[in-house]
Copies of this chain bind each other. A is one copy, B any other.
Amino acid sequence: MTAPRTGLELISRVTAAGELELSLVEAEVPAPGPDEVVVQIQAAPINPSDLGLLLGPADISTARVSGGVTTAKIPPQRLAGMAARLDQPLKVGNEGAGVVIAAGANAQALLGKTVAVVGGATYAQYRTCKARDVVELPAGVTAAQGASAFVNPLTALGMVETMRREGHTALVHTAAASNLGQMLNRVCLKDGIALVNIVRSTAQASLLRELGAPIVLDSTSDGFTAQLVDALAATKATIAFDAIGGGPLANQILTAMEAAANRSATAYSRYGSSIHKQVYIYGALDLRPTELDRSYGLAWSVAGWLLTPFLMKLGAGVAALRARVNAELTTTFASHYSATISLREVLEPEVIARYARRATGEKFLIDPSK
């Protein structure tokens, strides 16, 4: 096997004129250095965390194709935040999997192996990268099965690890029927951790219950607030990971945590309960502002949470998480895709409209070899 000299890769560009441009370019495939490999990508997921780089703040209802390039307008008020990426051709795709078709002198053992890849630029036919950025998949695991071996699995484990490190013993998760949420549910069931799942429809609630989740609350149901206080009092969950971000939900969770804490309070505290209540926002399914009425004393925190800095903080501890993911890749950390599309299809307006919806249960896999 030898790597071809060139291959297609997907490029996202935001122009100073206020347009998003998506294109496929024929790019050079660098020959591998001594510690490098060339992977022929066979599967790369479209994660919510990829969409920001891929689509920027474009209004995708304006997407048009011309000469093989897809363009969409960016609302002027959102262009200011893009200053740092204007006119730069950016490669996309946080992770993926494929076969090693060329390897440097120190990486020959990987030749021919199916590996998972992390580090960006996976929406491409070929990816030259350091051998340390790939993980050999266990025997019998396909590229499609290994395509999501990093972001979602390490995020689920990162949430549990954050919970433990910050002294909490149970947790809350929102948008809990997502691929990530199903994974977190399996981790918590396996590890005996109480998880309060919050979803936004009866269909999602049923889905999670069928997957064995003991506590599933529907935030659109009438009794939600009271049920949430009950669940928090029963589990003593004082940390939440929130994929929604905007609107009232983060505030509802903090308010319910305070009410649950006060159920066991023995004396009035003028500053609210002394139990620390934490909400980490890691997604933005709702783009509205987060509104905090601060009716829960002063022992609370709302903060952003992102995988990469967490892993950097964890340092050498990451290896143990990666080993667990690899061992349980087709069980605890299995991902499900609603469709597999080609690189070309990623640029089609009607396909963009589908994957940009971020609908629960709809997850796309790109196969650049299609």
Q: What residues make up the interface of A, taking CB atoms closer than 8 Å to B?
A: 52-53, 81, 83-85, 88, 90, 245-246, 251, 262, 265, 267-271, 274, 281-282, 284, 289-295, 297-306, 308-309
Q: CA separation between A303 and B280, bound complex, in Å? A: 11
Q: CA separation between A35 and B140, bound complex, in Å? A: 74
Q: How far is the CB of A247 from chain B (nearest CB, A)?
A: 11
> Does A291 lie within 8 Å of B294, measured CB to CB?
no
Q: Is the interface of A mostly helix, strand, loop or mixed?
A: mixed
Q: A53-B270, A282-B298, A292-B289 are in contact. Are A84 and B304 (CB under 8 A)?
A: no
Find the B residue at minimum CB distance from A276: B309
Question: Which residues of B are found within 8 Å of A309, using beta-carbon distances?
Answer: 274, 299
> Does B85 lie within 8 Å of A268, measured CB to CB?
yes
Question: Which residues of B are found within 8 Å of A271, using beta-carbon distances?
Answer: 52, 306, 308
Question: Which residues of B are found within 8 Å of A245, using beta-carbon distances?
Answer: 294
Q: CA separation between A290 and B297, bound complex, in Å? A: 14
Q: A84-B267, A293-B289 are in contact. Are A301 and B301 (CB under 8 A)?
A: yes
Interface centre among A81, A88, A282, A299 (most CB of B within 10 A): A81
> Does A306 lie within 8 Å of B302, measured CB to CB?
no
> Does A294 lie within 8 Å of B290, measured CB to CB?
yes
> Does A265 lie within 8 Å of B84, measured CB to CB?
yes
Q: How far is the CB of A22 from chain B (nearest CB, A)?
A: 15
Question: Which residues of B are found within 8 Å of A274, using beta-carbon distances?
Answer: 309
Closest 7 CB pairs of A and B: A298-B304, A301-B303, A85-B268, A84-B268, A298-B306, A290-B292, A289-B291
Q: CA separation between A85 and B304, bound complex, in Å? A: 34
Question: Which residues of B are found within 8 Å of A282, using beta-carbon distances?
Answer: 298
Question: Which residues of B are found within 8 Å of A291, using beta-carbon distances?
Answer: 289-292
Q: How far is the CB of A86 from chain B (nearest CB, A)?
A: 9
A-B contact pairs, 13 of them (CB 8 A): A52-B270, A52-B271, A83-B262, A84-B268, A85-B268, A271-B308, A281-B294, A282-B298, A284-B294, A290-B294, A291-B291, A300-B303, A303-B303
> Does B84 lie within 8 Å of A295, measured CB to CB?
no
Q: CA separation between A176 and B265, bound complex, in Å? A: 35
Known A290-B293, A298-B304, A302-B302; 14 more pairs at CB < 8 Å: A53-B270, A84-B269, A245-B294, A271-B308, A281-B298, A284-B294, A289-B292, A289-B294, A291-B292, A294-B304, A297-B304, A298-B306, A301-B301, A301-B304
Q: CA separation between A281 and B298, bound complex, in Å? A: 8
Q: A53-B270, A262-B83 are in contact. Are A302 and B292 (CB under 8 A)?
A: yes
Question: Which residues of B are found within 8 Å of A53, using beta-carbon distances?
Answer: 270
> Does B293 lie within 8 Å of A304, measured CB to CB?
no
> Does B88 lie within 8 Å of A295, measured CB to CB?
no
Find the B residue at minimum CB distance from A83: B262
Q: How far is the CB of A74 from chain B (nearest CB, A)?
A: 15
Find the B residue at minimum CB distance from A255: B81
